[in-house]
Chain A
């Protein structure tokens, strides 16, 4: 008995050993990406395949984690000698990563052609303190998606231009019995909720920080949260929004269970794909609305960049890979789920064809992108904000008190 079990175990170990891929390539890069939203896993894999075909001496191991794990994984991998070489990072992390020396400064590698060709909004994604910590890769903001068929049935001619109008249109749809809860958001206790909140903050002209101190508890920041709470309480917003992430929003929208949804670029072509979506061909997209007298449109900077970690032993190959992934050719080829960072791509028919509506929305939205605060303590600030948003939605506190507490707990 002992023998046979020992054998089985040994066998398992040995058998496992046979699977270990043999690396013939000279250099192996480990790259960390996120699963879903923006470029799909399949897209990233085929981009990478094209890169390794062109550079047979480099092998790239890809790793995909949910967005929620991206930050912690990157930080935790710092301790391991053979950690990641290339990491995807969100616009909110360069401050922390630069301060804690997670990413290397690549300012010297950014060419003038890059500086000229890439949209200025995209550059803010990778900059901190005047230095560059990578290349922007995903240029993204949240748009207002709507279901054309439902709006038509409700007799609504044009999608809303202001947030107030969004509420009115949703009410018409609800009153006509077309949908019980017409608006879907991603308000789960996660960064996704902060992105929706930021969009509204930009619409109401609020500010996160003033002189380094929290200011979101006043003015526009407060109005933004109040809007969310009102929309939730009025029953126009799907109450399940408070446990939705972006993928849940997409699923609800694609199933025809939402008339309006706030989501990233990637939803446009996915929701228009008849394979997964019940509403293919009925998807409308406009920039997130504004607030009368304050703003025309609103947008959050949800861009992400690719950087080289400080522990990478192959920074040159890593940069080569990043250059390839962010090149105009690659980005134009995969422009369906994420739009290029390159200015001239937006006039390239190969990119715009079939998604003119999205490009039109992008031109307005990308120009209005509003940043989340730049601070090394962003994680803590965001956690405090997430709690404030959820507590107010659930009616546990008033938006005023919730944001005040968040300001105190923000660590700033």
Chain B
């Protein structure tokens, strides 16, 4: 069989997938770009060309800068915590102890729980008057009075991050655990004989095996954290005083609540650009780590 026929056939086999992707993602993306230069409304007027007005308006608004920093903070802290907790849990699960298999099985539960259910669950736990967290902390005498966890700007974002971490660190743990199990026993044994301390063993013997898979998890989680919508929508809707409003929520408000499709589109594209830059930066990093690890 000739190479050209192979390639043609491959393209033909890819075709259905590509057609769907172009129709449902490619075209809307192009149309979003067009919309972002108009003052179109969501329903009704098609809108007129307004140049870069939407972009300048959005980029200079205090809402945008504030929301960007909220989102970044959420992403950085939650992803970092998920990575650390995930690796620690994986190291633990890599030890031998009774019930290990069961515990490993349990790890899948938070990850399988739908995001919206997770958000609902934590919203109930954080309830200021009848929530389990307040009850537990007072009964343990850790706090004197019930608190408004989701009602204070100081704790609301942290409360969201905890809820997000709880759902996602097990995934990191499972990925890291699979990688740990690929570390050959004799290597760790050799390091032990060489007198390497636990930290050095982790840093120089184990970490290289973890680096690749962890980087992938890191990239995926960061992108997701940057796009965050569901958990915030259910738990706080961006409150109190907009202290938990993420970029996605801001776009939703602009485009759908206020029905300004044009400026909503420009904002959405700014977010897209940010995520793309992040992803490309990460991808470069992944390639470098992969190169140095092997």
Contacts and interface: CB of A to CB of B under 8 A. Distances in A.
Interface of A: 68, 71-72, 75-76, 78-79, 100-102, 180, 188-190, 239-240, 242-243, 248, 251-252, 255, 257, 379-380, 383, 386-387, 390-391, 393-394, 396
Secondary structure call for the B interface: loop
Interface in B58-115: none
B148 to A, nearest CB: 5
Given A239-B151, A380-B258, A383-B253, A75 B239 contact: no
B45 to A, nearest CB: 9
Interface stretch (B11-19, B26-34, B36-44): B36-44
B184 to A, nearest CB: 32
Interface string B238-253: 1111100000000001
Nearest to A390: B241
A240 B44 contact: no
B42 A390 contact: no
B61 to A, nearest CB: 9
A244 to B, nearest CB: 8
Contacts of A71: 257
Contact of B129 (A75, A76, A240): A240
Given A252-B129, A391-B241, 19 more contacts: A71-B257, A76-B256, A79-B43, A188-B151, A189-B237, A240-B128, A240-B129, A240-B148, A240-B151, A242-B240, A243-B128, A243-B239, A248-B129, A255-B129, A257-B129, A379-B257, A383-B258, A386-B239, A390-B239
Contacts of B259: 75, 100
Contacts of A391: 241
A257 B285 CA distance: 55
B257 A242 contact: no
A243 B150 contact: yes
A75 B43 contact: yes
Interface string B137-157: 000000001101011110000
A100 B41 contact: yes
5 contacts: A71-B257, A72-B256, A379-B258, A383-B258, A390-B239
> Sorted from nearest, which 9 A-B pairs have the closest CB atoms?
A189-B239, A243-B151, A390-B241, A240-B128, A391-B241, A240-B148, A242-B151, A78-B43, A390-B240
Contacts of A189: 236-242
Contacts of B256: 72, 75-76
Contacts of B129: 240, 248, 251-252, 255, 257
A188 B259 CA distance: 23
B42 A75 contact: yes
A259 to B, nearest CB: 15
Nearest to A96: B259
Nearest to A243: B151
Contacts of A239: 148, 151
A243 B129 CA distance: 11
A68 B241 contact: no
B49 interface: no
Contacts of A100: 41, 43-44, 259
A58 B253 CA distance: 36
B262 to A, nearest CB: 15
B43 A243 contact: no
Nearest to A71: B257
Contacts of A251: 129-130
Most interface-central of A189, A248, A393 (chain B CB within 10 A): A189
Interface in B248-290: 253, 256-259
A181 to B, nearest CB: 10
A320 B257 CA distance: 30
Contacts of B41: 100
Most interface-central of B130, B146, B150, B151 (chain A CB within 10 A): B151
Contacts of A242: 148, 151, 240
Contacts of B258: 379-380, 383
Interface in B133-188: 145-146, 148, 150-153
Given A71-B257, A72-B257, A100-B43, A243 B237 contact: no
Contacts of B148: 239-240, 242-243
A379 B257 CA distance: 7
Nearest to A239: B148
A78 B152 CA distance: 37
A298 to B, nearest CB: 25
Contact of A188 (B42, B130, B239): B239
Nearest to A258: B129
Contacts of B128: 240, 243
Interface string B216-245: 000000000000000000001111111000
Contacts of B146: 240
B47 to A, nearest CB: 14
Given A72-B257, A239-B151, A240-B129, A101 B44 contact: yes
A253 to B, nearest CB: 11
A249 to B, nearest CB: 10
Nearest to A189: B239
Contacts of A190: 237, 239
A257 B236 CA distance: 23
A191 to B, nearest CB: 11
Most interface-central of B42, B152, B237, B257 (chain A CB within 10 A): B257
A72 B42 CA distance: 11
A396 B257 contact: no
B209 to A, nearest CB: 31
B133 to A, nearest CB: 13
B240 A394 contact: yes
A151 B222 CA distance: 54
Nearest to A252: B129
Contacts of B145: 180
Contacts of B236: 189
A394 B153 contact: yes
A387 B130 CA distance: 26
Contacts of B130: 251
